[in-house]
Amino acid sequence: MRVHIKEVQEGCILSEDVMGSSGRAIVQKKTVLTSELLEVLKAFLVPEIEVEKTLSSGHPFIPNEILDGEEVRREENEEQRELTFTELFLQASRSFKKEFRSWQAGLPVDVTKIRSIIFPLIEKIEQNQADLFQLHHFSTEEDYLYQHAVAVGIISSFISKKLGFNKGEIVQVALAGTLSDCGMAKLSEGILNKRTPLTQEEYQEVKNHPTYSYRLIQSTPFIREAGKIAIFQHHERLDGSGYPLGEKGQKIHQYAKIIGVADTFHAMTSQRLYRKKQSPFKVLEMMLQDLFGQFDIASIRALQVGIMNISIGSLVKLSSGQEAEILYIDENSPTRPLVKVLSTDEIIHLQRNRMLFIDEVKIP
């Protein structure tokens, strides 16, 4: 919906690029607006923008005035309108936050509620796989923990489906992925909300969360033993560098390997307190090269297949700042496709230009 800039607040999500007088985007769509970005828009004298109907917190955004003539009979319209993936994800993150708060208060994990939170998103992602590679746009410092849990469940289900798992197995992997960090509820608020680097002692406490997660779900009949093991092992690494036990190779359950890839992929592509978000292309390349030996190659390849299926013709921003169109993706090197620079029509094969990489995928 189109609203006046004075109506916009922090947490609004752009649904269309904000274009400058030069014809280039000042701020790209799917960006969560911060106070700094709002100042940028005002400095550029942007009068009005297109935003989503849901804030990054999962709450509805209700401006005083909508400029595009859209009906404001919300209750009637919302019942009839199918929610977008963005709205579903943000609402799911909000619901997960409520569950997380209940675990902090000492209540048990209700797996049936987690199923109801994650399943609509799994079904939605099957309709448009491109949404999977936009999850990182919606992470905020305040709600990252809850958004991350939902995202890991979705990505884990996607990987397991690509690996040929049956429906029952996909369900178990998705639930285990979503609940893999539920043990964070047993950490102190001081650690969870800390905005400065953790001390060594605090980090050691964080490393106990897989054990806490396992204890929270170990008696539930709705998660099979394989899923429970995966929750306990999701931070183990193939080379033995993980935790809590430092297990290696075949001692790590396949479900845990999948969740480990999903967890790391979303974390590395998301905006964090000490690190800017990175493009899915760059992260997959880093996981295959810089972190080689830690992660399950088949699971990473499954994510790459997803990228190959959605990216032909997509517009991207290169690390040089140039905008380009993806022309061809080599299945042997899907993170480094053949691209055409829009401003010059130059054809660049990123496989042969290692100094360049895809920095951002522009959402269609």
329 and 275, same structural domain? no
Asked whether residue 327 is assigned to any structural domain, the reply reads yes
| CA-to-CA separations, 233 to 184, 226, 257, in angstroms, rounded | 15, 10, 8
- Closest by Cα among 345, 339, 344, 282 to 313: 339
The domain that contains 36 carries what CATH number? Answer: 3.90.105.10
268 and 147, same structural domain? yes
Residue at which a domain ends, from 255, 279, 303: 279
Asked whether residue 172 is assigned to any structural domain, the reply reads yes
How far apart are the C-alpha atoms of 150 and 117, rounded to whole Å?
8
Residue at which a domain ends, from 37, 58, 80: 80
90 and 73, same structural domain? no
318 and 220, same structural domain? no
How far is C-alpha 207 from the chain's CA centre? 22
> Does pTM surpass 0.75?
yes
What is the per-residue pLDDT for 91?
Answer: 93
Asked whether residue 302 is assigned to any structural domain, the reply reads no
Q: pLDDT tens digits, the chain, 364 residues: what are they?
A: 888 888 888 888 888 888 877 777 788 888 888 888 888 888 888 888 899 888 888 888 888 777 765 544 444 454 556 888 888 999 999 999 999 999 999 999 999 999 999 999 999 988 888 788 888 888 887 899 999 999 999 999 999 999 999 999 999 999 999 999 999 999 999 999 888 888 999 999 999 999 999 999 999 999 999 999 999 999 999 999 999 999 999 999 999 999 999 999 999 988 766 567 788 888 998 898 888 899 999 999 999 888 777 668 888 889 888 999 999 988 888 888 999 999 999 999 999 998 898 887 776 5
14 and 125, same structural domain? no
Helices (H), the chain: 35-43, 74-80, 85-104, 111-127, 144-162, 167-179, 189-192, 200-206, 209-217, 225-233, 254-269, 280-288, 297-310
253 and 104, same structural domain? yes
Asked whether residue 289 is assigned to any structural domain, the reply reads no
Asked whether residue 49 is assigned to any structural domain, the reply reads yes
Residue 158: partners with Cβ closer than 8 Å, 6 or more residues away: 125, 129, 132, 302, 303, 306
The domain that contains 338 carries what CATH number? Answer: 2.30.30
355 and 242, same structural domain? no
The domain that contains 200 carries what CATH number? Answer: 1.10.3210.10
15 and 73, same structural domain? yes
Residue 134: partners with Cβ closer than 8 Å, 6 or more residues away: 30, 361, 363
Asked whether residue 306 is assigned to any structural domain, the reply reads no
192 and 114, same structural domain? yes
- Closest by Cα among 138, 139, 178 to 158: 178
Asked whether residue 288 is assigned to any structural domain, the reply reads no
CB–CB of 205/175 below 8 Å?
no
Asked whether residue 319 is assigned to any structural domain, the reply reads yes
122 and 269, same structural domain? yes
Domain count, the chain: 3
User: What's the DSSP call for residue 272?
Assistant: B
Residue 353: partners with Cβ closer than 8 Å, 6 or more residues away: none
Radius of gyration of the chain (CA): 21
Residue 252: partners with Cβ closer than 8 Å, 6 or more residues away: 233, 236, 237, 238, 260
| Per-residue tokens: 191 | 């650690």
| Per-residue tokens: 113 | 């509620």
pLDDT digits (tens, 9 = 90+) for 40-50: 888 888 888 89
168 and 38, same structural domain? no
What proportions of the chain, in percent to the nearest 5, are helix, strand and coil? 50, 10, 40
| Per-residue tokens: 122 | 């799994």
157 and 144, same structural domain? yes
Residue at which a domain ends, from 25, 58, 80: 80
How far apart are the C-alpha atoms of 46 and 170, rounded to whole Å?
45
Residue 355 is part of which domain span?
311-361
What is the per-residue pLDDT for 61?
Answer: 86
